Amino acid sequence: MKRIIEIKRVIEWFFQRITGVVLLIGLIVHFQTMHYSGAGQISYEAVFARLSNPYWIVFNIVFLLSVTYHGFNGLLGIMPEYVHSHKMQKVLEGVLIVVAVTVVSLGVYILTV
């Protein structure tokens, strides 16, 4: 059990770093496309065209996964520093995981269906 927790912590930190790098690239692409490429890029037709392009769908899913992982893993990390009751920590951990899974599922559903 101790070993599993050990590995879990290592993976958590490692993925936090990896998703951080993905986020940096993803945010540059996102801002460039959505905010600095003129109004034409955010019209209904342009968005529809992007969402029909498999590369954009993959990009958006990777972006969504990275954002959600990075944000929620960060919250899970700092939560015990503010919430000291062990019971409350477990409850909040569950709530955060449920919210994260819901956000990802909803996003993937919107992007693919």
Contact residues for other proteins (CB under 8 A)?
A: 5-7, 9-14, 77-78, 80-82
Cα distance between residue 49 and residue 16, in whole Å: 32
Contact 46, 40 (CB under 8 A): yes
Q: Which is nearer to other proteins, 71 or 107 (CB)?
A: 71
Taking the complex as a whole, how short is the minimal distance between the CB of residue 37 and other proteins, in angstroms? Answer: 34
How wide is the angle at C-alpha 88 spanned by C-alphas 67 and 7, nearest 5°?
A: 55
Tokens 């109004």 belong to: 39
Taking the complex as a whole, how short is the minimal distance between the CB of residue 33 and other proteins, in angstroms? Answer: 30
Q: Which is nearer to other proteins, 16 or 33 (CB)?
A: 16
Q: Which is nearer to other proteins, 14 or 31 (CB)?
A: 14
Phi, psi of 21 (to 5 degrees): -65, -45
Taking the complex as a whole, how short is the minimal distance between the CB of residue 13 and other proteins, in angstroms? Answer: 6
